[in-house]
Structure 1
Amino acid sequence: MFHIDTLETEGLGNRSYLVGGARAAVVVDPPRDVDRVIAAAARRGVRIVAVAETHVHNDYVTGGLELARLTGARYLVPAGALVDFARVAVADGDVEEIEAGLGLRAVATPGHTPHHTSYVLEEDGRAVAAFTGGSLLLGGVGRPDLVEPRLTDRLARAQHASVHRLATELDDEVAVLPTHGFGSFCSAGQSGGGHDTIGAAKATNPALLKDVETFVAELLEGLDDVPAYYAHMGPANSAGPAPMDLTAPERADAGEIARRLAAGEWVVDLRDRRAYAQGHVAGSLNIEVAGQLATYLAWLIPWGKPVTLLAETADEITRAQRELARVGIDRPAAAAVGSPIDWAGDGVPLADFPRATFADLAAARERGAQPVVLDVRRDAERSQGWIEGSVHVPVHQVHQRLDEVPAGTVWVHCAGGMRAAIAASVLDAAGREVVAVDDGYAAAVAAGLTLATPAQH
C-alpha cells in the first residue's frame, strides 16, 4: 500500500510530495526548507531513498540538493537539465524503485522547460498517480515562456504534446498531482483546485480540449506578468543552492533603522496593512507577512539590496525569514520587534495615511474632487476593464515609475486591498499624499463608479 503526503507552500502556490510505502519514500520537487520534509518522513516512519526534480525551477529555490545530502538519497534530475553538481541523470522510461512493488517511472514532458520530466507512481506495475510538476496542471498547464523568449512558441507546442501524451498513456483514474498552479505565477491561466484525475482533465483541461494551433494562440495571448525575481531562481538551482540559514538576524534599534533608511536600504514593515496605515516609520514599506510576502518583496526589491524587517513578534520575523529564503533572499540585514514607536525612536513622529472604500472614492468625485486614481493590478487584470479616468501602473513597477503618477492626492486600488497597501506605502515613502482603497474591486460598480473596457477605447 502506498501513501502520498502533500506539503503545501501556499505563499508561492506550490506543492511538494512525499511518496512511498511502509519503509521508504521519494520526495518530488522539495521546498528549500527541507526540515518540513524530514519531519513529514519522520511522522511516517519512512526513509527518504530518492529526491526527484521535475525540472530546474524558475519560481523558487529548491531544497533538493541539501535534502539528498542530509538523507543520503539519490538525487534525480532530468538528464537534459544543465546543472553544476552531481546528480542521477533521469531519462524517459527510467524507473526508480522505492520498495518492493512500488516505483517511480520518468516520463519526458517538455513544455514548461525543455527538459521537463513527470513521474508516474506505479504499484505492482499499475500507474496510480502522476506527479506532473509544471506540465499538466489542475485546469491548465505550466507557462512556456520562462526559459528563453525564442523558445516560447516551440515550448508551447511541446506542452500541448506532453499533456496529450499523459492523457493517452495513463488510465482515467490515475491521480494528477502537479507542483505548480495553486496561485503560482508559473502556471498559465487559472490553475487551482485540490486534486484531479486524468479522466477529469480530459473533460475540463483546455490543453486537452483544443487543437494545437488554438491552444498555442490562446496560451500565449493569456500569459501574465513574470515576477522579476524568477530571473535569479533558475541560475541558483542550476548552480546548487546553499542550505537555508534561519539563524536570527541582527537586531536593529531606532538609530540603526534610521541609518539604513538614510542609506537607501529597504525597511519592510510586516504588520497588517490597517495597522501600518494608522502609524509607521516614515520611509518604510508595507508588505504583510500574512499575504504573499515572498512573491511581492522579491518582485519589487532591487536584487541584492539589503532589507530590514519590522514586526510585532519574533515569530513573525522567523516566518518572514523562512518565506524569503525560499526565493533566495537569504539573510535579512537586520530585524526589529515591537511597535512603530520603538522603531522610530523617541520624539520622532510617525507617518500615516487614510484608508477608504470605492464608495468613498465615488463620494469624493461627486463632491467635485479630482483625485488621481491609481490602478496597481497586473496588465491581464486591467485588460478586463478599469475605473474610468484611472492611471495604470502595476504594483511591481510603482517604485520604478513614480514620475508617471500625476500630481495630487493618489487613491490607490487593486482587486482586494493588499497590493494597494504595498503601492500606497511606496508612494508614501516617496512623499506623496495617498489614500489606500481597501476594498474588493467588485464594489466599484456598486459604488456607482463608471468602468471602462477595451472595446470602448
Structure 2
Amino acid sequence: MTAPSALTVLLIETPTLGDRSYLVHDGEIAFVVDPQRDIDRVMALLQEHGVRATHVLETHIHNDYVTGGLALAAATGAAYLVNAADDVAFERTPVHDGQEILVGSRMRLTALATPGHTFTHLSYALRDTESGSDLGVFSGGSLLYGATGRPDLLGADHTDALVRHQHASAHRLADLLPDEAEVFPTHGFGSFCSATQTAAASSTIGLERRRNPVLTQDAETYVRELLAGLGPWPAYYAHMAPANADGPAAPDLSPPERADAAELRRRIEAGEWVVDLRHRTAFAAGHAPGTLNLGLDGGFATYVGWLIPWGTPITLLGESVEDVAEAQRELVRIGIDRPAAHATGTPHDWTEGGLASFATATFGDLAHVRHHREVVILDVRRRDEHHATAIAGAVNIPLHELLSRLGEVPAGEVWVHCAGGYRASIAASMLDGHGRTVVAVDDVMDNAGTAGLPLMGPSA
C-alpha cells in the first residue's frame, strides 16, 4: 500500500503464522518492523525497490516466532532498535518511550510504550515530516484489527495486570493519533497471539474507535469478556521469547541429509517424527507406516510446533525438493532449525514394505453409518469449539492433547473430525500409527447438522 505522501509501506505476510512484517521506504531509505526469521524475503524487497535499510525495529520480544531482526541488522548494517527495558543478550540500539527516530530525511518514528501483550511492548507512530501527516502506527501486538494481542502469554500471575495495561495502551494510541492514521499490527491474521480473530485486511484509528471492543467498552467489561474468551496457545510459544532474547542468527536453509527407506524406518522406530507433507487425501490413500501427516496446505508450522515434543528430531517427506524447502522455511520461523533428514518422491520410495491407508468420509457418511453400527466419534477441536457446537455423543480430546491421551480414545472404529479436515487428518495419522482403525472426516463442521447428526451446545 502507498500512503498519501508517497511513502511506501510494503506488507511482508506470513499467513501460516498469522503475522505481518513491514518494510517502509521513501524511495531511498527504509526501515523494517518485526521481520520474520527468513530475512531473504526482506533482502529481496530492498533490492527490488532499490532502497537501503537503516533501521530495524522490534515492537516486542515475540512469543510466536523467532525474529530475523538481529540477523537483518547485521546483513544490512542497520541499527537494531529494541526497548531499553528488554533484557537481551546482544548489542542493540536501546529505545525509550517517547523517543523520536528520524529515518532518512522525512520519516519520523515515535516510540510509544504500549504494554499489554508484554510489559515492555512498544508501538511506533510514523509521521511524514515533509507533509506533516501522521500516517499510521506500527502496533505490533497492541491494537489489532477489531482485537488486541492476548495478555496471558507471560503466565497467569501477570495476566490481570497485562489485560488492564492493554486497555490503557489502546486508548493511548487512539488519543494520540488522528482517525485517518492507519493501523499496522504484527498479529491478528490467524496468529494465536491475537486474543480474538477478525477478517479485516486493513484499518485506521477511526475504524478501530467504532468497532474494536478495547475502545468501545469500559475497562472492566473489556477485561471480563476478553479473559473469558481466551483459549490455549501453541506449546512452542514457551521457547520463542528465550530464543529472541538470546539474539537468533540467520537460519541455515540448505537441504538436510537425504534418507532412504531403511533410514526412515529406523527413525520411526526410534520415536523420531517422520512427517509426510502431502495433502491429507493423498496421505489417507497410501503412506509409509508410522509417518505423520501435517500437510503444507494448512497450519503446518503451528501444529508441528504445538504437537512435537520439543527437541525431537524431525524428518520431512515431500513430493519434491520444493516442498521440503517450503517446510524447512516454515520450521526455522519457530526455531526448529535443522531437520534431521528428508526424502522426496512417493510413499513407495519411503518404505520397504507395503503402504498403510485409512478411509476418509463426510459428515453425511457418518450420519449414515450410525444407523447401522456403533462407532466412536472423536472431536479433536479445541474445548471452546466443542462446547459451542458438538455432535451428541462425541468424545472431545483436543488435538494438542491427543498424543498424551491416546489411551483415552474408546475402543472401536474411530471416526475423527475437526472443523475442516486438516486437524482430523493429523489425528488420524497418529491413531493409524498406533494401530487403530480410523476414518478421517474430511468435511466442514457446518455440514454436520444438515447431514442429520444431532448437535448440542449454545451455537448448535
| Stretches of 4+ aligned residues off by more than 6 angstroms | none
1:141 counterpart SS class: coil
Matched, 1:436 2:443: no
1:60 counterpart SS class: coil
Provide the residue aligned with 1:67 in structure 2.
72
2:370 counterpart SS class: helix
Question: Where does 1:320-331 land on structure 2 (aligned, <5 Å)?
Answer: 320-331=327-338
Given the superposition, is the C-alpha separation of residues 10 and 455 from structure 1 closer, same or farther in structure 2, using an over 3 Å criterion?
A: closer
Partner Cα distance (1:455, 1:226) in 2: 23
Partner Cα distance (1:455, 1:325) in 2: 38
Question: Where does 1:30-179 land on structure 2 (aligned, <5 Å)?
Answer: 30-124=35-129, 125-179=132-186
Provide the residue aligned with 1:448 in structure 2.
452
Offset of residue 192 of structure 1: 3.5
Partner Cα distance (2:284, 2:320) in 1: 19
Matched, 1:300 2:307: yes
Matched, 1:381 2:385: yes
Asked whether the equivalents of residues 137 and 191 of structure 1 are also in contact (C-alpha less than 8 Å), the reply is no
Name which of 7, 10, 21 aligns with 2:15. Answer: 10
Please report the TM-score for the alignment, with normalisation by the length of structure 1.
Answer: 0.98
**What is the letter of the counterpart of residue 358 of structure 1?**
F
Q: Deviations over 1:171-197 (max 9, x none)?
A: 000000100000000000123411000
Question: Where does 1:163-312 land on structure 2 (aligned, <5 Å)?
Answer: 163-312=170-319
Partner Cα distance (2:450, 2:198) in 1: 29
Q: Deviations over 1:211-231 (max 9, x none)?
A: 000000111110111100000
Offset of residue 289 of structure 1: 1.2
Partner Cα distance (2:350, 2:306) in 1: 25
Asked whether the equivalents of residues 139 and 192 of structure 1 are also in contact (C-alpha less than 8 Å), the reply is no
Partner Cα distance (1:20, 1:93) in 2: 22
Instruction: Give aligned-pair identity as a percent.
Output: 56
**What is the letter of the counterpart of residue 204 of structure 2?**
T
Matched, 1:395 2:399: yes
Number of equivalences: 453
Q: Which range is displaced more, 124-133 or 431-440?
A: 124-133
Partner Cα distance (1:455, 1:354) in 2: 29
Provide the residue aligned with 2:431 in structure 1.
427
Partner Cα distance (2:247, 2:119) in 1: 19
Provide the residue aligned with 2:355 in structure 1.
350
Provide the residue aligned with 1:366 in structure 2.
371
**What is the letter of the counterpart of residue 107 of structure 1?**
L
Name which of 332, 342, 352 aligns with 2:339. Answer: 332
Offset of residue 141 of structure 1: 0.3
**What is the letter of the counterpart of residue 254 of structure 1?**
A
Q: Deviations over 1:86-133 (max 9, x none)?
A: 111111111111111211111110000000000011101431111000
Structure 2 gaps, min length 5: 1-5
**What is the letter of the counterpart of residue 428 of structure 1?**
D
Provide the residue aligned with 2:409 in structure 1.
405
Asked whether the equivalents of residues 39 and 250 of structure 2 are also in contact (C-alpha less than 8 Å), the reply is no
Q: Which range is displaced more, 191-200 or 151-160?
A: 191-200
2:283 counterpart SS class: helix
1:12 counterpart SS class: coil
Partner Cα distance (2:180, 2:327) in 1: 39
Partner Cα distance (1:455, 1:46) in 2: 51
Provide the residue aligned with 2:3 in structure 1.
none
**What is the letter of the counterpart of residue 389 of structure 1?**
G
2:70 counterpart SS class: helix
Offset of residue 44 of structure 1: 1.2
